[in-house]
A and B are shown apart, each in its own frame.
Chain A
């Protein structure tokens, strides 16, 4: 019986080893990527949590989250190192007669909080996404429900693909040239909305088309066969089933809109602004005001002020809040979409 067993005996060990090594390399590449991503995420989460959370109730640093940025003053007082925000420092100097001419080291934006940035980012995202969804979904409806494949439609698709590849800073320049200067909107919320909306448009269109395509042809045929017009078919037999897909996939667009800095640098973002966005005299002013935004604030605090133990607090804190916001949105989108894809296999 020894001869037959030779037929299927394993190949040489060296060859198997070589294959195992190559596969291990591929595997190592995969986990290197995950490790790098996880490392960045963990570093910011760990160091940022020291700013955002605190040991005593309410455990969340509400000052940091819900107040405006201030300068931080560091000085020696009665043999002790003191750190104070702007307002506190002024009050302190009035209270303590000897403190009027105390020599303090100052760091801008390093005290107080980031509430105006959070509010500004939320406003920017809400407006830009509303615009992008309105235009993007309509565009996708046309492309997937009305259009017949022709030269023009291919051209439109090409434009969408190319628009997706345009660098964000170019969108910033474009928004600056068109909305800020040509339309005379200045650096404003509304200029930011349009710039960001155009930037995210390809994402929304592609996501919406995918969702529309997932609705089975049979439903459309059935509605048409019952005497519905094209629009009635879309309204009653297509959009309702595609809508969850459109919305979940578009959340990924939110992450993109919220995460970009370059397009809002010259169109919507202020380095610092004392008033909150809703503290305006006339309603129109709301649209035409610049806002602070989290990504821009991170840029400012990480490049315009020195790195030390006093500034690190606000740097990591802002990065933490921003990363967490974007990450939650992205994670929600990815999970919802995967679940939806699994469910929507008609």
Chain B
């Protein structure tokens, strides 16, 4: 790689971002640097704009009529992702996303994982097989499904489905993985597995996770950003946020007094 990113250098830089849904503003003047190969948690009460910010990072908001960036920029590896020469589809290959509710395609487990590669025109069976296995292993799902790769993904349990979605995401080798409350629909056991998985993935990917669950943020993130009413209130290493927050609103939120 031409410019080697060190563990602490930022991979995503958000500066002075204003974002609107039609005429309704959702984000104001957000400045945030997301370090590479770390887990950054976005927390805050419902409607604070954390999901919106997440969906800005791979421009999923483009799908919503009237949603647009009013001011400011998002740079990934220094490239403005709203720039004219940027292809949103290439962007999404580099910035993968895992959704709140698991959303496997109504296809076989194998085809779910292979989907991203097939899109890029990969037909080589051996390579597909290899990537499927590698991705499922990476998502700690291989042992559970290796005997039924050709069965429908809809037959998996909720937690397995979510890990399948993660596997599907890492199959296209993104650099950044966005997770939008990935555990909110799961039971505690499945949640624990996903959190464990996140810990393993951090060594290779930069992860941004939106969560409502304070313990989750505390447990598995390195950095935490607290949002309130569309503004970034505080951004600091997770330990600092939960032990000595600088802002009284942050303190009120993390200690459970509102939200």
- Could you tell me if A11 and B3 are in contact, using CB atoms closer than 8 angstroms? no
Q: A residues within 8 A CB of B78? A: 1, 4
> A9 touching B85 by the CB < 8 A rule?
yes
Inter-chain contact total with CB atoms closer than 8 Å: 34
Tell me, yes or no, whether B143 is within 8 Å of chain A by CB: no
Closest-by-CB residue of B relative to A15 is: B121
Q: Is A7 a contact partner of B90 (Cβ separation < 8 A)?
A: yes
B89 at the interface (CB under 8 A from A): yes
Contacts of A10 in B (CB 8 A): 85, 87, 90
Interface: B2 (CB within 8 A): yes
Question: In the bound complex, what is the Cα–Cα distance between A5 and B91 (angstroms)?
Answer: 11
Q: Which A191-250 residues sit within 8 Å CB-CB of chain B?
A: none
Q: How far is the CA of A7 from the CA of B93 in the complex (A)?
A: 10
Contact A8 B2 (CB under 8 A): no
Complex Cα distance, B85 from A9, in Å, reads: 6
> Once bound together, how far apart are the Cα atoms of A9 and B84, in whole Å?
9
Do A7 and B2 have beta carbons less than 8 Å apart? no
Q: Which residues on the A side are within 8 Å of B91 (C-beta)?
A: 8
Q: Is B81 an interface residue (CB 8 A)?
A: yes
B-contact bits for A1-31, CB 8 A (1 contact / 0 none): 1011101111100000000000000000000
**B130 proximal to A (CB < 8 A):** no
Give the bracket for the number of chain A residues in contact with chain B.
Answer: under 10
Q: A4 to B77, Cβ gap below 8 A? A: yes
**B7: Cβ under 8 A from any A Cβ:** no
Instruction: State A11–B85 Cα separation when bound (angstroms).
Output: 11
Is B252 on the interface with A (CB-CB < 8 A)?
no
- Cα of A261 to Cα of B85 in the assembled complex, Å: 60
A11-B91 Cα distance, complex, nearest whole Å:
11
CA distance A8 to B89 in the complex (A): 8
How far is B122's CA from A97's CA once the two chains are assembled, in angstroms?
94
The 0/1 profile, CB within 8 Å of A marked 1, for residues 1-14 of chain B is 01100000000000
Judge whether B185 is part of the interface by a CB distance below 8 angstroms.
Answer: no
Q: Which residues of A contact B192 (CB under 8 A)?
A: none
Whether the pair A11, B79 counts as a contact (CB closer than 8 A) is no
Cα A309 to Cα B78 with chains together (Å): 75
Contact of A9 among B2, B3, B77, B87 (CB under 8 A): B87
Cβ contact within 8 Å between B77 and A11: no
Q: CA of A344 to CA of B86 in the docked complex: distance in angstroms?
A: 42
For residue B193, CB closer than 8 A to chain A, the reply is no
Complex: how many Å from CA A314 to CA B87?
Answer: 60
In the complex, chain B residues 79-104 whose Cβ is within 8 Å of any chain A Cβ: 79, 81, 85-87, 89-91, 94
Residues of B within 8 Å of A4, CB to CB, are: 2-3, 77-79
Structural contact, B3 and A8, CB atoms closer than 8 A: no
Give, as a whole number of angstroms, the nearest-CB distance from A194 to chain B.
Answer: 46
10 cross-chain CB contacts under 8 A: A4-B3, A4-B78, A5-B85, A7-B77, A7-B94, A8-B81, A9-B86, A9-B90, A11-B87, A11-B89
Q: A8-B94, A10-B85, A10-B87 are in contact. List 14 more A-B contacts (CB 8 A).
A: A1-B78, A3-B2, A4-B3, A7-B76, A7-B77, A7-B79, A7-B90, A8-B85, A8-B87, A9-B85, A9-B86, A11-B87, A11-B89, A11-B90
Could you tell me which A residues sit within 8 Å of B by CB distance?
A: 1, 3-5, 7-11
Give the 8 A-B CB pairs with smallest separation, nearest first: A10-B87, A3-B2, A8-B86, A8-B90, A4-B77, A8-B91, A4-B78, A4-B79
